[in-house]
Amino acid sequence: MRSAPAKPDPLALLRWYDRRRRALPWRARAGETADPYAVWLSEIMLQQTTVEAVKPYFAAFLARWPDVAALAAAPQEEVMKAWAGLGYYARARNLHACARAIAARGAFPREQRELLALPGVGPYTAAAIAAIAYDAPVVAVDGNVERVVARLFAIERPAREAKAELREQAQSLFPGRRAGDFTQALMDLGATVCTPRGPRCGDCPFHGACAAERSGDAEAFPVKPPKTQKPERRGAAFVLLSDGAALIRTRPPRGLLGGMAEFPSTPFRADFDPRKARAHAPAAAPWRELPGMVEHVFTHFSLRLTIFRATLPPPRPGIENCRWTELGRLEAEGLPTLMRKVAAHAGLGLE
């Protein structure tokens, strides 16, 4: 009779972490205490976002707003501009609201329940802050940890359906000390060894104690839900120029690209009718349809935009809900990537 498979040893993971932990700008060095502000800021930026994409934004935010009081005192518009290009703009809105809430109450809450009540802070982020900044005995479960745990225990259901089980199993691994290190160790393991594709099981501190590895196909976990096709939408954007300036406006505060600057545009729709595009133009002008389209892929649809361009002689007219921005200052407007593509397509630079 075969011996029972080894159980995962959490202390082996901590030993691995002590050797292989990543040095990250928001992470305290070994033995030092993390700054709650830096932990919170980084955790918000890292939501669904890669480490490399976050690094320059984190540095810029920390340099400009070195503590939560400074961020709370900033105009929301400035925060949105500084966030431009990072995506998921509701995060920036919530970040600012959260900074004001924290400044108003005087300090970061330490309790997970209070953290959870903050805007933009969900179950993962609350647990991460509690564990990393305050050493609370909780395991934060992000996509990395879900993957590690799904493999360790060969969980057959997709992560979406198995959230509760994944959290319970992750928490069951907690060794009872070094909570911040343990959570970050699981995440580092998922990011560098137990990767979505091509996991390096031979380098894993759980080698020999992982059910997915024993199955012979660790990569098959976590089980993926069936993929659905991404629909296509279309629309048009209008680039109006006059006397060295371009016409822009601010999008509504919620929804797609909420609160971000844009060139006046039609709604983006599956049933967009190009013949009616000109009816959405911000002003009467000698509009010319440019050849080609701007293509962009969002989370849940892909977009093809027709670009219209026109030039008006000075003086520049006032146009409702819009403003003129000098071409040299377009960069400082904090255009989201889609609108940077529009600018480039219209020959305004911003490649």
Active site residues: 43
With CB under 7 A as the contact rule, which of the stretches 103-111, 294-302, 304-312, 316-324 interacts with DNA? Answer: 294-302
| 166 three-class SS | helix
Out of 197, 217, 279, 315, the residue judged to bind DNA by CB under 7 A: 197
Q: Applying CB under 7 A, does 224 fall inside the site for DNA?
A: yes
When asked if residue 2 is in the footprint of DNA (CB under 7 A), the reply is: no
Name the phi and psi angles at 104, rounded to 5: -70, -35
Q: Which stretch binds DNA (CB under 7 A): 28-36, 64-72, 121-129, 315-323?
A: 121-129
Three-state secondary-structure class, residue 190? helix
Nearest approach in angstroms of CB 167 to DNA is 11
Are the C-beta atoms of residues 16 and 33 closer than 8 Å to each other?
no
Write the interaction track for DNA spanning residues 55-94; mark x where CB under 7 A is met and - where it is not: ------------------------------xxxxxx---x
Q: Which of 55, 123, 249, 262 binds DNA (CB under 7 A)?
A: 123
| 279 touches 248 (CB < 8 A) | no
Here's the x/- map for DNA, 17-56, by CB under 7 A: it reads as -----x-x-xx--------------xx--xxxxxxxx---
The beta strand positions in 107-256, using DSSP E, are: 232-242, 245-250
Q: Give min distance, CB of 229 to DNA, in A.
A: 9
H/E segment holding residue 163? helix 163-172
Per-position x/- string for 147-186, each x denoting binding to DNA as judged by CB under 7 A, each - no binding: x------------------------------------x--
Residue selected from 38, 187, 237, 261 as contacting DNA according to rule CB under 7 A: 187
Helix (H) or strand (E) holding 288: strand 288-289
CB distance 155 to 132 below 8 Å:
no
Given a contact cutoff of 8 angstroms between Cβ atoms, the answer to whether 211 and 168 are in contact is no
Residue 338 in contact with DNA, rule: CB under 7 A: yes
Distance of CA 46 to the CA centre of its chain: 6
63-71, 103-111, 249-257, 324-332 -> range binding DNA (CB under 7 A)? 249-257
248 binds DNA (CB under 7 A): no
Q: State the Cα–Cα distance between residues 133 and 38, nearest whole angstrom.
A: 9
Q: How far is the CB of 309 from DNA (least distance, A)?
A: 21
Ramachandran region, residue 120 (left: φ > 0; alpha: ψ -120 to 50; beta: rest): left
Which runs of E-coded beta strand occur in 162-244?
Answer: 232-242
Does 325 bind DNA (CB under 7 A)? Our answer is no
Q: Which is nearer to DNA, 147 or 242 (CB)?
A: 147
235 CB-near residues (< 8 Å, 6+ apart): 265, 266, 267, 268, 269, 272, 277, 303, 305, 306
Residues at the interface with DNA (CB under 7 A):
22, 24, 26-27, 42-43, 46-53, 85-90, 94, 119-126, 128, 142-144, 147, 184, 187-188, 190-191, 196-197, 224, 227, 255-258, 296-300, 336-338
